[in-house]
Amino acid sequence: MSTGADAPGRTGRAPAHTAAGPRDPAVRLSRVLGRLLGAGRPPADGGSTTAHDLAVRRRLLLALSALLTVTLFLSYEGVHGDAGPLRSSTTPAVVALDTALYALGRAHADATGPTPSASEFQKQVSVAAQSVALAATDEVGGRAGRQALQTVAGLITGYSAWVSRAQLQPVGSVLRDAYLKYASSMLEADGSGIEARLRVLRGQQRAAMARQTSFGWPLRLGWSVAALLVLALGAALVETQLFLRRRFRRRYNRRLIGALAVLAVGFVTLVVFTVRTRQGMTDTYGLLDRSPTGRAAITEARRHTAAYLAGTGFRAAASVWIVIGGALLMALAETGLRQHVDDYRFTPR
C-alpha cells in the first residue's frame, strides 16, 4: 500500500508522475473540485497526488452523469409528454368539432334550400351527432367540456326534430317557415346556439393544443443545461482518459471510451427524436389552427395530422432509456476508474 509515492499499476510498470506546484492552475482546480465533491484535501506539497486526483475525477464523472440524467429526462419528458395527449385526444377532438360544424352547416343549407332533401339532411345531422360523440370520448375540456357536449347533443336532437316538422309542411306555408326559423335560432343564436357552443369548445381545444405544442423558456433552459452538461461530461471523460494515459502509461481505457460513445450516440439520438416530434407537433398546430373547412379539407387534415404525429409514442417511450443510459454511464465511469483506485487503497480526508 502506498501513501507517499505512486504505487505501480496492475501492469507492473511504475506510473509516470511529475509533481506539480501548488500554484499550478490544474492543482488549484483539483483542490477546489476535491472540496466540492467531498474527495478531501490533496497530500502535502511533494507527496503523491494520484490517489486524490483519481478520487476527484471519479466523483466528478459520477456527479455529471447523475445531473445529466435528471436534466435530460425532465427536458425530454417536457416535450414528448405532451405529444401523447396531442395525438390521442386534442387533435381528434379538434377535427371532430370541425366535422360537426361543417356537417351542421351542410344540413341547415339543405333544410332551408329551394329543394330540401330529408335523407341528405338526416345524413348530415347523423355525421354531426357522431362527431360530437367522438369529441366527448376524447375528454374535451374535462368535466365541463363533457357537460357542454351533452348539451350540444341534446340541442342537435331538438334542432333535427324542428326541421323534420318543417319538412312535413307544404313549401311556403307559414307553419313551415316558423319551424325553420325556430330551428335556425337553435343552430345560429349568438352565445347559446349549437354552432356558438361548438366554436367555444373548439377554441378551448385550440388553446390546449397551443399549450401542448409550445416550447417555452423552461424547455429551452432545460435543453441548454443538458447540452452544457453533455459537453462537460464529454470533456471530463476525455481529460480522464488523458490523465490515465499520462499517469499509468495505458493508451486506452475501454470503459471510459465506451462511456463517451454511449454519451455521444445517446444524446444525438434523443435530439433527433425530439426534433422530429417537435416538428410534427408544430405542423399539426399550424394545420389545425387554420380551421380547415369543407369535407375534403377536413379529411386531409385528419390524414396529415396522423402522419405528423406518427411514431411519437415510440419516441416518448425512449425516456426510459435515459435512465438506463445514465446508470450505464455511471457504471462505466466507476468501473473504468475502479481498477486504478484499488491500487491506492486510500481513505479520503
Digit-by-digit pLDDT tens for the chain (349 residues) are 333 334 444 444 444 444 444 454 544 545 544 444 444 555 555 455 677 777 788 888 999 999 999 999 999 999 999 998 899 888 998 999 999 999 999 998 888 877 777 788 889 999 999 999 888 876 666 777 788 888 999 999 999 999 988 888 887 788 988 988 999 999 988 888 899 999 999 988 888 899 999 998 999 999 999 999 999 999 999 988 888 887 776 667 888 999 999 999 999 999 999 999 999 999 999 998 877 777 888 888 889 999 999 999 899 999 999 999 999 999 998 888 776 666 665 444 4
- Of 150, 87, 102, give the one whose Cα is nearest residue 311: 87
3 state DSSP class of 113? coil
CA 131 – CA 286 distance, rounded (Å)? 22
Query: Which three three-digit cell numbers place residue 14?
Result: 511504475
Whole-angstrom Cα Rg for the chain: 33
3 state DSSP class of 46? coil
- Of 346, 316, 328, give the one whose Cα is nearest residue 233: 328
Question: Distance of CA 127 to CAs 50, 77, 242, 301, 311, Å?
Answer: 77, 37, 69, 17, 29
3 state DSSP class of 150? helix
**Hey, CA dihedral for 268, 271, 277, 282, is it positive or negative?**
negative
Question: Would you give the DSSP letter of residue 89?
Answer: I
